[in-house]
Each structure stands twice: as structure tokens, then as C-alpha cells.
């Protein structure tokens, strides 16, 4: 299915949003709850599926919906369509502070692998599916990196990341990364989980016992502040504030 051609602009810095401009009849799909605002003439429908296979039967739709549950996302994908006359706009925001990354799937040879919670929205015609890392060790130790999302198509897709996003091009190189800091990578990149070093480094190094290893030639996207790390730090601050009797600004907020 050929993707709809959509225009867009990304607004903001710390907490970004993407504004999509739709011609009459054009549709953009998005995660449930991602919509920020929409102009008159835009209608929306929650569907079990990304719309790439309109002839799919109930079983296929339930299977696709079930795979989304595995990734921790909603059963439904919301379809926003311009039913009015003239161009209309709809905007989507990320669920936490960070950066929205536009991806042109045509330039990426129609395929990109992203973290399971990275997808925000895309032009209708983009296929969203899950893929499992082939290395068994990733399932036991990789945490965020075992279950991944695959985006396929020839249109524009948007993913969100925490903090600052770094795009790196590997030229037959190897890069070791904190498992939660990977946003996405091209499918020809080999992804695995390996020990972070010797026993002393793993216990006292502060970088965790395992790191993700990316090898090959292609583009990778990294995030400076994954949501899991942010939640972990806030939990520590919260526990310390409560232990100290709730003193300070954080303690007053938590009361």
C-alpha cells in the first residue's frame, strides 16, 4: 500500500510536538492518546490495525492487536482523516520531554527498527509490526531491547526519544550503548547484548552488567535520557526525600 504524502513541521524544544498538514482525504495514524489538537474537518477513528491491509479478517486484526499489547501499547491505533475542504492540521505530542525524530522511510529503503515505545505517528500506509531480537541473551538481559517495533513503508513516520537525539552512521564499525539509549537502527545493523566488562567493571562501574552492541554499516539513533532511566532517578530522589522527612522542594511536592 502506497503511503499518503503528508507535510509536517516540528515545534518546540524541550517537549516537542509535530504538526501534520493533511490534504482532503489524507490520513495519518497515531498512538492512542498522542493527539494534541486538530482543526475542524479532521475526523478520527480507533482501529485494530494500521490500515495497510484493509481486507484483513477479524483473526488477523486480533493478532495484530495482540502483538501491540506485547509491546505495552494500546490495542488500537487512531486514524485521523481530513474530511473537510482544503488543507487541515492535526498535531501530536510526545508523552515525556525529549525529541521527535522524522523518518522518511523511502530514504531508509522502506524499513526501520525502533524501540517498542518509540513510535508516535505516521502517514497511512506505514506498516507497524513487532520483531524479536534473534539473540536469546537479549531476552534475558536486554530489557528494553528484546521486543522491538518494525516500521515499513514509503512515507513519513515520527518517533520520539528522551532528551537529546544523536544520529550516528556506522561504517563497518561497532558501537556499545546502554540498552535503554537506543531509539532505532537500520535493519542491516546487527544488534546483540554483551557483558559490559570484567567482574569489577560490571559490579562497580555503574554502567550496568550488560550493554547493547551495534555492528555493521548503517544509521543508528540514540537518546540521551531514556524514560526508564529518568523514572529510576526520580524514584531514588523520592525515596531519599521521604527518608529525610520530606524536607526541601521535592519533599513538599510529594506530600
Q: Tell me: the pLDDT tens digits for 187-245?
A: 999 998 776 655 444 444 444 567 889 999 999 999 998 776 666 656 655 666 666 66
Cell of 128: 507497524
Tally of CA atoms within 13 A in the half-sphere of 247 that contains its CB: 3
Q: Please tell us whether the domain made up of 7-224 is placed in CATH 3.30.300.30.
A: no
Contact at 8 Å (CB) between 179 and 144? Answer: yes
Supply the pTM of this predicted model.
0.80
d(CA 162, CA 181): 9
| 36 φ, ψ (degrees, to nearest 5) | -100, -50
Evaluate if residue 246 carries a pLDDT over 70: no
- Look at 161 and 246; give whichever has higher pLDDT: 161
Amino acid at each position: 500500500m502506497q503511503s499518503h504524502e503528508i507535510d509536517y513541521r516540528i515545534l518546540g524544544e524541550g517537549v516537542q510536538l509535530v504538526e501534520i498538514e493533511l490534504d482532503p482525504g489524507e490520513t495519518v495514524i497515531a498512538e492512542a492518546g498522542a493527539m494534541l489538537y486538530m482543526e475542524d474537518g479532521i475526523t478520527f477513528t480507533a482501529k485494530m490495525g494500521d490500515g495497510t491491509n484493509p481486507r484483513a479478517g477479524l483473526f488477523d486484526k486480533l493478532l495484530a492487536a495482540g502483538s501491540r499489547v506485547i509491546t505495552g501499547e494500546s490495542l488500537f491505533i487512531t486514524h485521523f482523516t481530513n474530511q473537510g475542504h482544503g488543507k487541515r492540521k492535526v498535531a501530536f505530542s510526545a508523552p515525556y520531554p525529549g525529541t521527535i525524530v522524522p523518518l522518511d522511510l523511502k530514504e531508509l529503503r522502506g524499513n526501520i527498527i525502533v524501540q517498542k515505545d518509540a513510535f508516535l505517528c505516521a502517514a497511512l500506509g506505514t506498516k507497524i509490526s513487532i520483531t524479536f531480537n534473534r539473540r536469546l541473551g537479549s531476552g534475558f538481559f536486554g530489557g528494553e531491547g528484546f521486543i522491538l517495533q518494525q516500521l515499513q513503508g514509503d512515507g513519513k513516520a515520527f518517533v520520539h526519544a528522551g532528551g537529546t537525539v544523536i544520529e550516528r552512521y556506522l561504517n563497518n564499525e561497532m558501537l556499545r550503548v546502554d540498552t535503554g539509549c537506543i531509539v532505532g537502527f537500520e535493519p542491516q545493523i546487527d544488534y546483540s547484548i554483551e557483558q559490559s566488562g570484567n567482574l569489577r567493571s560490571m559490579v562497580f562501574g555503574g554502567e550496568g552488567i550488560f550493554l547493547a552492541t551495534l555492528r555493521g554499516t548503517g544509521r543508528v539513533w540514540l537518546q540521551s535520557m531514556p524514560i526508564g532511566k529518568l523514572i529510576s532517578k526520580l524514584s531514588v530522589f523520592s525515596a531519599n526525600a521521604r527518608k529525610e522527612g520530606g524536607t526541601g522542594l521535592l519533599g513538599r511536592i510529594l506530600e
